[in-house]
């Protein structure tokens, strides 16, 4: 594909989501959605994230149903290692009592990891397959068929994850401290005097809002940059393999680390929400 279009078009094609929107004339796709307004759906991000979420649930449920107390198989051993790893981090970090935190941490870690792992799929394979399906099945020019296969390179998804965590932070802050306690936390810290209430509220509000912002932007920025480097390497054609392999090996660390950081920050933020001063 890189040889058929310019470098700029090649990069833009790989970094463009498959969009669907509802216009006055009906359902529209891709370029027709550029001025469609707020409700534009990135169907590739939604599709791959839902698929990987279902894959996670099916895989772990299957292992749980077949688990034995004897010598575990490779898959059971792997799942047990992941569960024990998440459980130990929750016990070390979360100091409240909440049965939701460990399952939430496990879900975040595995789901984000699987979405990040899609970054290791060669950048041309799935977009080429989508283009062929569009051409032979619907008569669409393959260059007009878009497919971003790494959901975490879409800022909409990373913000959806972080906003969900933010809502949990607010919910448990009010549940544990009460509405009055939560408001006091926003207005009487760090300066415990009524004269500093406006200053405290601004500082604490910025700190609170920065939590989902940092979660979303950190995950998006690292995975988007990694995907962009894979695209640039793919443009080298037959010379890409010597660079693709070492970058893929290094990127495995980034994939795992970003899933771990997102999980740990979620646990830390929820632990802070459960602290009743």
pLDDT tens for 204-239 read 999 999 999 999 999 999 999 999 999 999 988 777
Query: What per-residue confidence (pLDDT) applies to 2?
Result: 41
In-domain check, residue 29: no
Query: What per-residue confidence (pLDDT) applies to 68?
Result: 85
Distance CA 205, CA 32 (A): 38
Query: What per-residue confidence (pLDDT) applies to 3?
Result: 45
Query: What per-residue confidence (pLDDT) applies to 93?
Result: 94
Query: What per-residue confidence (pLDDT) applies to 60?
Result: 96
In-domain check, residue 50: yes
Q: pLDDT band for position 1 (50/70/90)?
A: very low
204 by Cβ neighbours in 10 Å (0-12 / 13-18 / 19+) ranks as middle
Residues 6+ apart with CB under 8 A from 14: 123, 127, 148, 227, 231
Query: What per-residue confidence (pLDDT) applies to 39?
Result: 80
Contact present, 14 and 231 (Cβ < 8 Å): yes
Q: pLDDT band for position 36 (50/70/90)?
A: low
Mode of pairing for the β-strands spanning 40-42 and 19-23:
antiparallel
54 has pLDDT over 60: yes
Domain total in the chain:
1
Distance CA 211, CA 265 (A): 9
pLDDT digits (tens, 9 = 90+) for 119-149: 999 999 999 999 999 989 988 888 889 999 9
Among the ranges given (31-35, 135-139, 205-209, 272-276), the one the predictor scored with the smallest mean pLDDT: 31-35
> Is residue 214 flagged as an active site residue?
yes
Question: 240-262: b or e for each residue (b if 16 or more CB lie within 10 Å)?
Answer: beeebeeebeebeebbeebbbbb
In-domain check, residue 221: yes
pLDDT digits (tens, 9 = 90+) for 146-184: 999 999 999 999 999 999 999 999 999 999 999 999 999
**Domain span at 127:** 45-273
In-domain check, residue 7: no
Query: What per-residue confidence (pLDDT) applies to 29?
Result: 81
Candidate list 7, 88, 192, 214, residue with the active-site label: 214
In-domain check, residue 15: no
Query: What per-residue confidence (pLDDT) applies to 109?
Result: 98
33 has pLDDT over 80: no
Residues 6+ apart with CB under 8 A from 193: none
In-domain check, residue 255: yes
Q: pLDDT band for position 37 (50/70/90)?
A: low
Helix/strand/coil for 72: coil
In-domain check, residue 27: no
Average per-residue pLDDT in the chain? 91
Query: What per-residue confidence (pLDDT) applies to 58?
Result: 97
| Closest to 169 (Cα-Cα) out of 213, 109, 223 | 213
pLDDT digits (tens, 9 = 90+) for 250-259: 999 999 999 9
Contact present, 231 and 11 (Cβ < 8 Å): yes
Candidate list 49, 162, 173, 222, residue with the active-site label: 222
In-domain check, residue 166: yes
> Is residue 218 flagged as an active site residue?
yes
Query: What per-residue confidence (pLDDT) applies to 150?
Result: 97
pLDDT digits (tens, 9 = 90+) for 55-100: 999 999 999 999 888 888 899 999 999 999 999 999 999 988 899 9
Candidate list 30, 156, 218, 271, residue with the active-site label: 218
């Amino acid at each position: 594909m890189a040889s058929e279009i310019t470098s700029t078009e090649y990069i833009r094609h790989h970094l463009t989501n498959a969009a669907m929107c509802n216009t006055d004339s009906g359902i529209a796709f891709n370029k027709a959605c550029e001025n469609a307004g707020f409700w534009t759906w990135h169907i590739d991000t939604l599709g791959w994230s839902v698929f990987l979420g279902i894959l996670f649930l099916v895989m772990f449920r299957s292992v749980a149903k077949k688990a034995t107390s004897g010598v575990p198989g490779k898959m059971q051993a792997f799942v047990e290692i992941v569960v024990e790893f998440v459980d130990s981090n929750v016990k070390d970090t979360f100091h409240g009592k909440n049965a939701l935190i460990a399952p939430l941490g496990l879900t975040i870690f595995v789901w984000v990891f699987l979405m990040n792992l899609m970054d290791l799929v060669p950048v041309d394979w799935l977009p080429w397959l989508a283009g062929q399906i569009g051409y032979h099945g619907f008569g669409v020019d393959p260059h007009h068929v878009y497919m971003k296969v790494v959901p975490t390179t879409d800022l909409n998804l990373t913000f959806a994850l972080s906003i969900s965590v933010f809502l949990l932070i607010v919910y448990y802050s009010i549940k544990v401290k009460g509405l009055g306690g939560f408001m006091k936390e926003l207005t009487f810290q760090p300066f415990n005097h009524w004269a500093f209430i406006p200053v405290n509220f601004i500082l604490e509000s910025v700190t609170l809002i920065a939590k989902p912002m940092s979660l979303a932007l950190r995950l998006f920025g690292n995975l988007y940059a990694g995907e962009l480097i894979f695209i640039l390497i793919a443009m080298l054609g037959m010379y890409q393999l010597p660079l693709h392999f070492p970058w893929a090996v290094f990127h495995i660390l980034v994939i795992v680390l970003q899933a771990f950081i997102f999980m740990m920050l979620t646990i830390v933020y929820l632990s802070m929400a459960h602290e009743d001063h």
